[in-house]
Amino acid sequence: MEISLQNIGRRFNRDWIFKGIDYRFEQGNSYAILGPNGSGKSTLVQIIAASLSPSEGTITHQYQGKKVEAEEVFRLLSFASPYLELLEDFTLNELIDFHFNFKQFISGFDKNQVIELLGFEKYRDRLIKNYSSGMKQRVKLALAFSSKSPLLLLDEPTANLDNQGVDWYLNLIERFAADRLTIICSNQEHEYSFCKQQLNIVDYKS
């Protein structure tokens, strides 16, 4: 998976959030999108995911040497964020079944492996709405990492996680992110310290 940004800008009303981003993301590498709260990091991630259009510039997605149209990008990505809503009237069993109607498991995984990865065997029949915020964030991350996709987008991945949860997240990165294009949106160094490349949104303020 390769993503090329050419003169990307986004504005709301007359105010530019960022302008003039020229950047290239390549599979097998890890990238951090940095900036303070409210700086536009999540907006840029949504543009990368093709769920939001830029106000100016062009973005190109390629996979296995072929261009991917914007409406097909979602098939190639996994996404986790604290603002991502889960279906809270589902049990964990039901949520995993629903999710993998649309995604494929990574090699060697099935529903039981996802639940084991979470350590939630005794909570598998509990409704998601009765999970704590930290448990919900773990579920979002587990679903993203265990889905077969070349692009992994993580926005504030350790939000609501305690220290043990942070260690669990870093273990997921080590186990499952190596061959993917991994993009972390963060202002917490422990979330992105492994990233070899960094893009600071503040550098593209007008």
Mean pLDDT of 179-201: 95
Q: Token pair for residue 82?
A: 């604290």
Q: Would the CA dihedral through 183, 73, 141, 177 be positive or negative?
A: negative
* CB atoms near residue 51 (< 10 Å): 13
Compute the distance between CA of residue 129 and CA of residue 115 in angstroms, rounded to an integer.
Answer: 17
pLDDT at 132 over 90: yes
At 67, is the pLDDT very low, low, confident or very high (cuts 50, 70, 90)? Answer: very high
Identify the pLDDT of residue 163.
96
Mean pLDDT rounded to a whole number for the chain = 96
Q: Token pair for residue 67?
A: 């261009």
| Residue carrying structure tokens 């939000």 | 159
| Residue carrying structure tokens 């504005």 | 11
The H helix count followed by the E strand count for the chain is 6, 9
Compute the distance between CA of residue 66 and CA of residue 68 in angstroms, rounded to an integer.
Answer: 6
pLDDT at 206 over 80: no
Compute the distance between CA of residue 35 and CA of residue 21 in angstroms, rounded to an integer.
Answer: 14
- Going along the chain from its start, the domains and CATH numbers come out as 2-204 (3.40.50.300)
Identify the pLDDT of residue 10.
96
Q: Residue 77: CA atoms inside 13 Å, Cβ hemisphere, count?
A: 24
With CA atoms as reference, report the closest residue to 176 among 150, 138, 140: 150
Instruction: Return all residues near 175 (Cβ < 8 A) that are at least 6 apart.
Output: 145
Q: What is the pTM of this model?
A: 0.94
pLDDT at 3 over 80: yes
CA distances, 157 to each of 12, 21, 53, 111, 144 (Å) = 26, 24, 23, 22, 11
Identify the pLDDT of residue 205.
87
CA distances, 86 to each of 1, 82, 137, 173 (Å) = 27, 10, 10, 22
What backbone phi and psi angles, to 5 degrees, belong to 98? -65, -50
Instruction: Return all residues near 124 (Cβ < 8 A) that are at least 6 apart.
Output: 91, 92, 93, 115
Mean pLDDT of 110-132: 97
| Residue carrying structure tokens 């840029």 | 44
At 40, is the pLDDT very low, low, confident or very high (cuts 50, 70, 90)? Answer: very high
pLDDT at 155 over 90: yes
